[in-house]
């Protein structure tokens, strides 16, 4: 059952100042399911990046800047309507670019892509500011109040694992706050961003407010964009190393930065957990989207009294996963994003085996005997037996893999979980309410789930500590980042 091919035999173009523009530099968009070429993509050069940024800068002072919050948000609702009207096209594009299952694309990625515009549009209409009525030293009074202004030109750089969802997670609050956008999707997943540009165009978003550039990072559109003197802010989701490079590139301009970066997330499973729920929830947190979610769990710490039982149960869950074609309704897991990334994941598998790991299940590349053998599939994998200093325990793999370590007491588990350069997410499985609160509070992470995973209220703060990021996204936290408050003091 093959993956549908959106925009077949077409060139995915850049969108600048309300026009779709190609270029002389084209690169292939590869389907990770079978290695076939989906289409070609027009890479933006430095001049096109400059055109996009300057068109956005002009739009900030033009029609867009004159619209009221209600008018802006009404347009964002039209964008959400446009995504839903072309739902099947977005699903096909998402599956072709990523190889993810039909179930995930239709129930998570595309619905959330539309919902983000509605959620932040509605939140923006109720965004509040401070106001203080004070007495002055001379006996008079003063009124201090704040007004929110947009930051200006915002560079939005989105990753390949959840292409539409994470692009719109940034676009929606930035636009609701009145900013203008130059967006760059990952070179691995250009299709849904291109469709989104078409939706923006048809929804009547004024020229220059939303611009889309295709390309790579180093010495390409990404680097040109983050270094541009007229970009006022950069928001990025992706690797910690790339975030560091963007931070350096943005330093001279002192740009506002929002980064959601990598994770080496830990899960702690106590002996008093609901065992079946813990196994099922952990299987989700390890293997969802082939482990290619920043929130996925790669390190598990299981109480010694249930360690062997838990390892066996998680092994059964992993071996029940069906790896296959995206459109097959029974498919649980697709390929990783590319052959390059597959090779990286397999290299970590080989490193773990070389270090003396016990391979509980997986550890290699599956064979199908059909076109999928040309794709980028890897086996869901579980390791045990390594020290906490082993490479696969310390470094982010971003694949369908975990290492499981036993522990004897609560403090030991907390210390091992927190012994990481990353601090994005954690899970805790226990039926002891006091322990749940006590342990969750001690996790050095931006979000800790208790007896759940990936359960999200989009109004809550989301982000990481240490190498996992800078700042918080979600609800008013996003709107506040994309807004520049000006205090106005009036002597009465």
The catalytic site residues sit at 260, 294
How many contiguous H segments (helices) and E segments (strands) does the chain have? 17, 23
Answer for the pair 334, 372: CB distance below 8 angstroms, yes or no. Answer: no
Which residue from 458, 437, 459 is spatially nearest to 448, judged by alpha carbons?
437
Q: How far apart are the first and last CA of the chain?
A: 73
Q: Rounded CA gap, 298 and 312, in Å?
A: 17
| Whole-Å CA distances, 139 to 133, 134, 136, 343, 420 | 13, 10, 5, 72, 56
Q: Are strands 14-16 and 19-21 parallel, antiparallel or unpaired?
A: antiparallel
Per the structure block, which two tokens stand in for 285? Answer: 């947190």
| Whole-Å CA distances, 192 to 6, 91, 365, 378 | 10, 8, 28, 25
Q: Rounded CA gap, 460 and 439, in Å?
A: 20
Answer for the pair 295, 394: CB distance below 8 angstroms, yes or no. Answer: no
Long-range contacts of 425-428 (CB under 8 A, 24+ apart): 425/263, 425/265, 425/294, 425/295, 425/297, 425/449, 425/464, 426/265, 426/266, 426/267, 426/268, 427/265, 427/266, 427/267, 427/268, 427/281, 427/282, 427/285, 427/297, 427/452, 427/453, 428/267, 428/268, 428/270
| Whole-Å CA distances, 433 to 26, 429, 445, 446, 450 | 56, 11, 20, 21, 10
Q: Rounded CA gap, 460 and 281, in Å?
A: 21
What DSSP element (H or E) covers 141? strand 141-150
């Amino acid at each position: 059952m093959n993956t549908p091919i959106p925009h077949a035999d077409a060139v995915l173009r850049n969108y600048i100042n309300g026009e779709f523009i190609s270029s002389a530099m084209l690169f292939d968009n590869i389907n990770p399911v079978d290695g076939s070429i989906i289409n070609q993509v027009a890479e933006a050069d430095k001049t096109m990046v400059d055109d996009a940024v300057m068109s956005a800068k002009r739009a900030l002072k033009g029609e867009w800047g004159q619209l009221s919050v209600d008018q802006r948000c009404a347009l964002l609702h039209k964008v959400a309507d446009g995504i839903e009207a072309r739902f099947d096209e977005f699903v096909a594009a998402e599956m072709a670019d990523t190889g993810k299952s039909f179930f995930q694309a239709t129930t998570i990625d595309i619905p959330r892509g539309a919902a983000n515009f509605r959620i932040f549009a509605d939140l923006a209409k109720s965004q509040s500011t401070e106001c203080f009525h004070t007495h002055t030293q001379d006996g008079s009074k003063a009124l201090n109040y704040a007004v929110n202004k947009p930051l200006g030109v915002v560079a939005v750089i989105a990753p390949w694992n959840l292409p539409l969802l994470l692009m719109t997670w940034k676009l929606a609050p930035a636009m609701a706050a009145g900013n203008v956008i130059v967006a760059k999707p990952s070179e691995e997943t250009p299709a849904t961003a291109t469709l989104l540009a078409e939706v923006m165009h048809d929804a009547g978003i004024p020229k220059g407010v939303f611009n889309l550039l295709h390309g790579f990072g180093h010495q390409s559109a990404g680097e040109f964009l983050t270094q541009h003197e007229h970009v006022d802010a950069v928001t990025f989701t992706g690797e910690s190393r790339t975030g560091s490079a963007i931070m350096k590139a943005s330093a001279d301009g002192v740009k506002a930065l929002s980064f959601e970066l990598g994770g080496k997330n830990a899960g702690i499973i106590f002996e008093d957990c609901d065992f079946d729920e813990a196994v099922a929830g952990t299987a989700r947190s390890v293997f969802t989207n082939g482990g290619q979610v920043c929130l996925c769990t790669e390190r598990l710490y299981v109480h010694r009294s249930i360690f062997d039982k838990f390892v066996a149960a998680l092994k059964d869950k992993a071996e029940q996963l069906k790896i296959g074609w995206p459109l097959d309704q029974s498919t649980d897991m697709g390929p990783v994003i590319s052959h390059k990334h597959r090779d990286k994941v397999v290299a970590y598998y080989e490193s773990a085996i070389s270090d003396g790991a016990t391979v509980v299940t997986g550890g290699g590349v599956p064979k199908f005997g059909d076109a999928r053998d040309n794709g980028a599939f890897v086996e869901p994998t579980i390791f045990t037996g390594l020290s906490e200093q082993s490479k696969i325990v310390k470094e982010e793999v971003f694949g369908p893999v975990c290492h499981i370590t036993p522990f004897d007491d609560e403090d030991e588990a907390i210390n091992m979980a927190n012994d990481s350069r990353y601090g994005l997410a954690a899970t805790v499985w226990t039926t002891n309410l006091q322990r749940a609160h006590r342990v969750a509070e001690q996790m050095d992470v931006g979000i800790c789930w208790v007896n759940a995973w990936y359960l999200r209220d989009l109004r809550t703060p989301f982000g990481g500590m240490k190498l996992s990021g800078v700042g918080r996204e979600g609800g008013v936290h996003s709107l506040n980042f994309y807004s520049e408050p000006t205090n106005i003091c009036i002597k009465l």
